[in-house]
Amino acid sequence: MGEAIVPRFRTGDAVTVREAYPIGHVRTPYYIRGKRGVIERHCGAFANPEELAYARPGLPAQPLYRVQFLQRDVWPDYAGQPADVVEVEIYQHWLQPEASRDEPRPSR
Amino acid sequence: MSHDPHDENEHEHPHDHAEAHPHVHRSPPRPDLDDTLTYYRAMEVAVRELLIAKGLFTADDVRRQVENMDGRNAGRGAKIVARAWLDPSYKARALADGSAAAEEIGLDVGPLKLVVVENTSNVHNVIVCTLCSCYPRMLLGLPPDWYKSRNYRSRVVREPRAVLYEFGTAIPDDVQIRVHDSTADMRYLVLPTRPEGTDNMSEGELEALVTRDSMIGVTFATGP
Amino acid sequence: MGGLAAGAVAPVAHDYALWEKRVDALMMLLSHRDRQLLTVDELRRNIESLGAEAYDTMTYYERWIHAITQTLIQRGVITVDELGRKIEDVRAREAHRG
């Protein structure tokens, strides 16, 4: 089955959601693919739903994160307030590190 | 193809955006639809009978499971909220680990992880599952149709303030809105702000103020 | 689904019919760790496979019973043949009840 996957990210890390559009069952919504956000928390490791969807074990378990996005970074015409955010659970294999300075910290 | 009124309800109420909707409209209980067997209802009967014949579960198991879900309503989630309002250390535990806090007061949340998010004077939380309709059913029961609707799932993530306004909930500009999209294994419960004028209320009285919709985040808890 | 244009959210709800509650019960019993005869991930994939038009042609629980049945066939828990025979059997009983 493979060794456990080491979590790559920590709270506060800037990440970008990978852009890829495979067929099959994917739990990364279209609206945040390619978008930049910040890790709000590491949720633990879970079997990969992309594999579970085909009755396969989905192991080794993938680290899962809650990632916070500024709405104005997600929607070009966002009509709400600049501080508004959306928080989405995303599996590690959909995230890439984003080298950055002065990133907005997750709001608490 | 389907004449099921619950689908039609998503379209038959023209909506005036300026009109406040302080309460969820409950459509009247429908006449018993189990008396005409559509294809999919026949499929449900067939699958259930096949699986019982194969010994995978019993008719009693099904009956018990239906009763089990029937017994779940928003009162369970309200217990967590009321306890958190009364006990700051319980609230801190609930915010750190919702599943453990639920179990602490005897509530089973099932295999998934509960995340409790707190509304404050600066932050308002609202929950959605854009991919399907994940919902903390063990605490709140089965979700309402509108939560599962295309309209809610596509719009609340993009224009939460407008959608909340349609529910009669106006969020001031200086309050941050956080939309939580439960795409994976977390389930969310909003801890609404405690209404004014409730200082002398008992835990049971406080529970009665906590509506399902306030724990989804589309409304506030009811006032005293 | 997130972000697509859509109309106002009509805050309606309905009381679930018994057959709908039984679909939900089936899903809970089959996915329970004591049986593990399907996962919600398989159900979701099978619902997604129905396509967007299924939202207009099928109700929520019709989509779910379709996905549950599809998953059981995929898993080899039931065969297409026994499903077809049993559905006809159920419908014949219903017809006789008049």
Same domain flag for B167 and B197:
yes
> Residue B35: which pLDDT band, with cuts at 50, 70 and 90?
low
- As for how many domains chain B has, the answer is 2
The residue-averaged pLDDT of A88-94 equals 98
Residue C11 is given by DSSP the state: -
- Substitution target in A17, A25, A33, A74 with the highest count of C β-carbons within 10 Å is A25
Question: What are the residue ranges of helices labelled H in chain B?
Answer: 5-8, 39-53, 59-70, 75-86, 88-96, 98-104, 137-140, 145-148, 150-155, 160-166, 203-209, 212-216
What confidence score (pLDDT) does residue B22 get? 35
pLDDT at C94: 85
pLDDT for res B1: 35
- Indicate the helix (H) or strand (E) that contains B189: strand B186-191
B72 has a pLDDT exceeding 90: no
Q: Which of C1, C42, C75 sits opposite A53 (nearest CB)?
A: C42
Strand intervals (E) in B80-184 = 113-118, 123-128, 176-181
**Cβ proximity of C14 and B5 under 8 Å:** yes
B162 and B121, same domain (yes or no): yes
Indicate the CATH number of C18-97 among 1.10.540.10, 1.10.472.20, 3.40.980.10, 1.20.1050.10. 1.10.472.20
Helix (H, G, I), strand (E, B) or coil at A38: strand
Query: Higher-confidence residue: B27 or B182?
Result: B182
pLDDT of residue C95: 83
Is B206 found in the same domain as B101? yes
Say what the pLDDT of residue A1 is.
Answer: 52
**Residue B97 phi, psi dihedral angles, 5° rounding:** -155, 95
**The pLDDT value given to residue A106:** 63
- Measured in whole angstroms, how far is the alpha carbon of residue A71 from the centre of its chain? 15
What pLDDT, on the 0 to 100 scale, is given for residue B125? 98
Q: Are residues B48 and B147 in the same domain?
A: no
Kindly state the tokens that stand for B27. 């459509």
Same domain? B84 vs B59: no
Catalytically annotated residue among B132, B182, B202, B214: B132
Could you tell me which residues are beta bridge partners of residue A97?
A: A15
Looking at chain B, the whole-number percentage of residues with pLDDT higher than 70 is 83
Same domain, B40 and B147: no
Say what the pLDDT of residue B49 is: 98
* B12, B44, B70 - which closes a domain: B70
Residue B13 pLDDT = 35
Whether B186 has a pLDDT exceeding 90, the answer reads yes
pLDDT band at B41 (very low <50, low <70, confident <90, very high): very high
Question: What average pLDDT does the segment B65-77 reach?
Answer: 90
How far the first Cα of chain B sits from its last, in Å, is 46
Assess A76–C contact: CB distance below 8 Å, yes or no. no
pLDDT at B33 over 60: no
Predicted pLDDT of residue A82: 97
Please tell me the distance from the alpha carbon of residue C42 to that of residue B16, in angstroms, as a whole number: 39
CB contact B24 to C (< 8 Å): yes
Is the confidence at residue B153, as pLDDT, over 90? yes
Return the domain boundaries, chain C: 18-97
Q: Print the domain residue range for B187.
A: 75-216
Same domain, B111 and B188: yes
Q: What is the mean pLDDT of residues B56-77?
A: 93
Q: Do B123 and B56 belong together in one domain?
A: no
Q: What is the pLDDT of residues C33-76, one digit of tens each?
A: 999 999 999 999 999 999 989 988 999 999 999 999 999 999 99
Which of C41, C74, C75 is facing A49, going by the closest CB pair? C41
pLDDT class of A2 with cuts at 50, 70, 90: low
Q: Token digits for C87?
A: 């559905």
pLDDT at C11 (0 to 100): 72
A53 and C39 in contact by Cβ < 8 A?
yes
The structure's pTM equals: 0.87
Same domain? B51 vs B107: no
Q: Which chains have 3+ CB pairs within 8 A of C? A: A, B
Say if strands C12-13 and A14-17 run parallel, antiparallel, or are unpaired.
unpaired
Strands of chain A, DSSP E: 14-17, 36-46, 62-70, 85-91, 95-97
Share of chain C above pLDDT 90, in %: 76
CB contact under 8 A, A30 and C75: no
Per-residue pLDDT tens digits for A11-62:
999 999 999 999 999 999 999 999 999 999 999 999 999 999 999 999 999 9
- Identify which has the larger pLDDT, B15 or C17: C17
Give mean pLDDT, residues B134-162.
95
Instruction: Fold for A14-97, please state it.
Output: SH3 type barrels. (2.30.30)
